[in-house]
Amino acid sequence: MTSQTNLPEIADVLIIGAGASGGVAARRLVDAGLSVVALEQGEWQDATQYRGAYWDWELGALKTWSSNPNVRQSPADYPVDVSDSDMGVINFNGVGGATILFNAVWMRLTPDDFRRRSANGVGDDWPISYEELQPFYERTDREIGVSGLAGDPVYPPPNDEFPLPPFNLRPGALKVARAVASKGWHWWPPTNAIITANYDGRRGCVLRGACQTGCNEGAKSSIDVTHWKPAVKAGCNLVTGARVRRILLDEGGLAAGAEWLDVDGGVHVQRARIVLCAANGVGTARLLLASAGEGHPDGLANSSGLVGRHLMLHPLAKVTGFFAEPLESWEGPFATDLTVLEFANVDRSRGHVAPVKWSMHHGGAGPVAEGLKVLTEQAPGGEHHARFRTRFGRTIGWTIMAEDMPDENNRVTLSPDLVDSSGLPAPKVRYRYNDDVLRALTWNVERSSDILRDAGAFEIETLNPGMADAHLMGTARMGDDPKTSVVDRWGMSHDVPNLGIIDGSIFVTASCVNPTSTICALALRTAERLIDTRAEWREPKVPVVPAAPAGRPRAEAPAPASPVFSAGERERLAALADALLPGDEVMPPASGVDVAGAGLDRVLSARPDLAEILHTLLAEPVSDPLAWLGALKDRSAADHRQLLIAVAGAYYTDKRIKDLVGYPGQPETPHRPDRGVPAYMEEGLLDHLFAAQ
Ligand SMILES: Cc1cc2nc3c(=O)[nH]c(=O)nc-3n(C[C@H](O)[C@H](O)[C@H](O)COP(=O)(O)OP(=O)(O)OC[C@H]3O[C@@H](n4cnc5c(N)ncnc54)[C@H](O)[C@@H]3O)c2cc1C
Ligand code: SF4
């Protein structure tokens, strides 16, 4: 953490939130010689401690490295109230923001995404065009180190070379590419924010597949690596553990700084000439609403009443195909093996409007996640191992992602009762699926299932709709009219001219592609604009600091219960584990690998938080394990899941079990990109796209 005493009294620019957008802006602004202070509620991450390189990565992924803040519950997080929402939201709070956990799919919006209403009569138009953003996309692509194959006729111009070659197609992806090409449909190798070879002092991807719990190598272009480290080196003052409580104005209504709380509850004021919100599509709306005051009782920058409204997520469906042959689907990267944009346009003849993108990936699940899934879905008992064998390492999946439409009733407000670890109101998300989007998902699920069958899948599993989303957009939309938008075409507030917003809040349409490339390009564009117009900046006066409650130290996570388990508790766990994992002709039962002994101790060393619920569950005698498990599931699905995590974790992290299921762990396998003409091009699998041009 930067020492607080070193901070400039008045920074040129104050950035709130050290995620993707904040990093891109900070790096550019300090390079231009401006003094920048950034306040981040979380901390720097130590890449050597990401669990991907260790035996317990899957256990960590279910708690400390979960993308769900309501599961992580770390003091750096704020909870999100999703009790009245069709979809949950996910994030990460720390330097790098959600890019610490992101999948690094890196795509640009298309020109039509910026003019959805004029082009297709739905949604809205942005006040800016793709062409205005294009130079900023190109610059951020180079800074990030994007890998991909140039020349996609469907991808936005100019289709010049990417800094790095794409990932090679894995055998499973090749089967799928053949199936898609035989229909004459679009497909293309992925564009990822992952370096496929050494680049810019960073080590290329080693295919661990643990991208969603942080990349040990720095091959994934999380923004702490690509932007925050260079920004700090160039003089940016990044303060971690600094939670902004509200943005402050001067008496003339200019943004004059922000009030923030340190981890001990100390209250600080940082003054600045420009304030930029970079707290993401939920965090920024929360902060603006929490900054209500005299003259703006409904929140700051909110004369339109639109702060928090038009929340757009990316409704998702998941389609998984099971294949007879081993595909080693645990191997990395997790992101995308290939992309299908055949249906990423508006065509009403399909019976829906929403454009949809398909991303193919090869699963990414290790044995604990796969074992847990089988335990969750099946009745306990004998079929577990047979089912596990059909799944593990043999799946290919589609993530089907639909463009959300802006709806002002989908919104972020402040929760009346939920607070974060500093006692500040948590955001409440209220989101309803759009009927057209649901039709679009179903239409695409059917066709993407057919493709997997054509590629050889003998069984298809679908989740439609499903999953929480991390693409948080639209809650402070951009526009030329202050009555219908929150910020102008440069990302600056209509109401407060020196207050900018640079995260996904300012999106007008959602597109059906992942947003972070566009978030970063927009942040760079705003930073450039501020540099160019510096001579015109108005100087704010001393901030007015209305009375507010004293800060309070952050509530720490409760200390874990004792990891010491009695003989009786272990006996009960052994009986339950054997009922869940009884053993068959290949696999030993749970007791065969001491799940309730060394296995339990191993799990607790990685997940001490499980001790409390296990002590509670194992307190009473268990006479009939199967009946006991059924009753627990009926009584509390959450407690039942914790028990399954402990059992699957203890069993599938055992060395003998890993050998039996053929899991090598997450070894380093340096990726060697194909520098010649890739085999799929030689095979002509892209020819139909060039012929159609
Ligand atoms: C699991 C997962 C997978 C994803 N995969 C992809 C993908 O493949 N492709 C893609 O394009 N996108 C993906 N995303 C989304 C992507 O990470 C986000 O779009 C991007 O990080 C958003 O950048 P941002 O700057 O808006 O906010 P964030 O990166 O979320 O950063 C916001 C920061 O602000 C801080 N903050 C918030 N409030 C305060 C406050 N009051 N005071 C101080 N600090 C505060 C937070 O702690 C956080 O660090 C994924 C995200 C997740 C979680
Ligand atoms: S697969 Fe590549 S990008 Fe993903 S965590 Fe491993 S090294 Fe990093």
Render pLDDT for 344-359 as a digit per residue (tens, 0 to 9).
999 999 999 999 999 9
Short-list 348, 358, 549, CA closest to 447: 358
Question: Chain-wide mean pLDDT for the chain?
Answer: 95
What gap in Å lies between CA 510 and CA 109, rounded to an integer? 9
Q: What is the pLDDT of residue 130?
A: 97
pLDDT of residue 693: 75
Question: Ligand 2 centre from 601 Cα, in Å?
Answer: 29
Measured from the alpha carbon of residue 502, the closest ligand is 1
The average pLDDT across 650-656 equals: 98
Does residue 338 carry a pLDDT above 90? yes
- The verdict on the CB of residue 26 being under 6 Å from ligand 1 is no
Q: Which atom of ligand 2 is nearest to the CA of 331?
A: 1
Choose the residue to mutate in 93, 106, 146, 487 for probing ligand 1, maximizing ligand atoms within 8 Å of C-beta: 93
3-class secondary structure per residue, 607-658 = CCCHHHHHHHHCCCCCCCHHHHHHHHHHHCHHHHHHHHHHHHHHHHCCHHHH
pLDDT of residue 1: 47
Helix axes 637-652, 367-377, angle to 10 degrees: 140
Could you report the per-residue pLDDT of 543-557, keeping only the tens digit for each?
Answer: 999 999 999 999 988
What residue owns the CA closest to ligand 1's atom 46?
93
Residue nearest to atom 14 of ligand 1 (CA): 102
Tokens coding 601: 């101790």
pLDDT, mean of residues 577-597: 97
- For a ligand 2 pocket test, name from 65, 199, 211 the mutation site with the most ligand atoms within 8 angstroms of its C-beta: 211
| pLDDT computed for residue 379 by the predictor | 84
Ligand 1 center–CA 312 separation, angstroms: 15
Q: Which atom of ligand 2 is nearest to the CA of 220?
A: 3
Query: Which one is predicted more confidently, 5 or 514?
Result: 514
CB of 628 within 8 A of CB of 614? no
Is 207 close to ligand 2, i.e. is its CB under 6 Å away? yes
Q: Quick one: the chain helix, strand, coil %, rounded to 5? A: 35, 15, 50
Q: Is pLDDT at 332 greater than 90 in this prediction?
A: no
> What are phi and psi for residue 53, nearest 5 degrees?
-90, 5
Q: Are 346 and 377 spatial neighbours (Cβ–Cβ below 8 Å)?
A: no
503 lines ligand 1 (CB under 6 A): yes
CA of 211 to the centre of ligand 2 (A): 5
Residue-wise DSSP of 526-583: HHHHHHHTGGG-----SPP----PPP-PPPPPPPPPP----HHHHHHHHHHHHHHS--
Residue that the structure tokens 């939201």 belong to: 89
Return the ligand number nearest the Cα of 520. Answer: 1
Residue 3 has pLDDT above 70, yes or no: no
**CA–centroid distance, residue 103 to ligand 2 (Å):** 9
Ligand index nearest the alpha carbon of residue 44:
1
Asked whether residue 589 carries a pLDDT value surpassing 80, the answer given is: yes
582 lines ligand 2 (CB under 6 A): no
Sign of the dihedral through C-alpha 21, 22, 28, 34: positive
Q: Is the pLDDT of residue 221 over 80?
A: yes
* pLDDT confidence bin for 6, thresholds 50/70/90: confident
- In short, whether 511's Cβ falls inside 6 Å of ligand 1 is no
Please count the CA atoms within 13 angstroms of the CA of 63 that sit on its side-chain side.
Answer: 17
Cα 382 → chain centroid? 36
Residue 158: is its pLDDT beyond 70?
Answer: no
Q: Average pLDDT in the 258-283 region?
A: 98
Residue whose CA is at the smallest distance from ligand 1 atom 47: 93
Closest atom of ligand 2 to CA, residue 52:
5
Q: Which two tokens stand for residue 504?
A: 């996904």
Write down the pTM of the prediction: 0.97
CA of 251 to the centre of ligand 1 (A): 33
- In three-state secondary structure terms, 56 is coil
**Residue 160: CB partners within 8 Å, gap ≥ 6?**
138, 150
**Contact (CB, 8 A) for 376 and 641:** yes
HSE at residue 445, side-chain half, CA atoms within 13 A, is: 19
Q: How far is the CA of 426 from the centre of ligand 1 (A)?
A: 17
Ligand nearest to the CA of 220: 2
Ligand nearest to the CA of 312: 1
Report how far residue 511's alpha carbon sits from residue 517's, in angstroms, rounded to the nearest whole number: 12
Taking the centre of ligand 1 as the mean of its atom positions, its distance from the CA of residue 362, in whole angstroms, is 24
Per-residue pLDDT tens digits for 431-486 = 999 999 999 999 999 999 999 999 999 999 999 998 889 999 999 999 999 999 99
Q: Is 205 in the pocket of ligand 2 (CB under 6 A)?
A: yes
Q: Using the mean position of ligand 2's atoms as its centre, give its distance from the Cα of residue 53 in Å.
A: 10
Which atom of ligand 1 is the closest one to the Cα of 42?
Answer: 47
Atom of ligand 2 nearest to the CA of 50: 5
Ligand 2 contacts CB of residue 101 (under 6 A): no
Q: Which of 65, 102, 517 to mutate to test the pocket of ligand 1 (most atoms within 8 A of CB)?
A: 102
Task: Indicate which residue's Cα is closest to atom 8 of ligand 2.
Answer: 215
> What tokens were used for 676?
């010649």
Residue 560 CA to ligand 2 center (angstroms) comes to: 31
CA pair distance 614, 609, nearest whole angstrom: 10
Cα 58 from chain centroid?
17
The closest residue, in CA terms, to atom 37 on ligand 1 is 279
Alpha carbons 352 and 339: distance in angstroms, whole number:
21
**Ligand 2 atom index nearest CA of 104:** 3
- The β-bridge partners of 359 are 339, 399
Give me the pLDDT at residue 4, please: 57
Q: What is the mean pLDDT of residues 513-538?
A: 98
Q: What are phi and psi of 612, to 5 degrees?
A: -60, -50
Question: Which 3 state secondary structure label does DSSP give 463?
Answer: strand
Question: Which ligand is closest to the CA of 238, given by its number?
Answer: 1
The residue type at 9 = E
Structure tokens at 481: 């009219």
- Which residue of 207, 328, 362 sits with most ligand 2 atoms within 8 Å of its CB, as the best mutation to test the pocket? 207
What would the two tokens of residue 8 be? 């400039």
- Looking at all shown ligands, the one closest to residue 364's CA atom is 2
DSSP state, 68? -
Q: In the beta sheet, which residues pair with residue 277?
A: 16, 501
* CB of residue 214 inside a 6 A radius of ligand 1: no
Q: Which of 2, 39, 41 to mutate to test the pocket of ligand 1 (most atoms within 8 A of CB)?
A: 41
From the CB of residue 631, how many other CB atoms can be counted at a distance below 10 Å? 12
Of the candidates 25, 92, 144, 126, the residue with the CA atom closest to the CA atom of residue 522? 25
Q: Tokens standing for 298?
A: 């409904």
How far does the centroid of ligand 1 lie from the alpha carbon of residue 171, in Å?
32
Give how far Cα 275 sits from Cα of 224, 266, 499, 533, Å.
21, 21, 5, 15
Atom number of ligand 1 nearest to Cα 107: 11
Q: Please work out whether the CB of residue 354 comes within 6 Å of at least one atom of ligand 1.
A: no
Residues written for the chain: 693
How distant is the alpha carbon of residue 655 from its chain centre?
Answer: 31
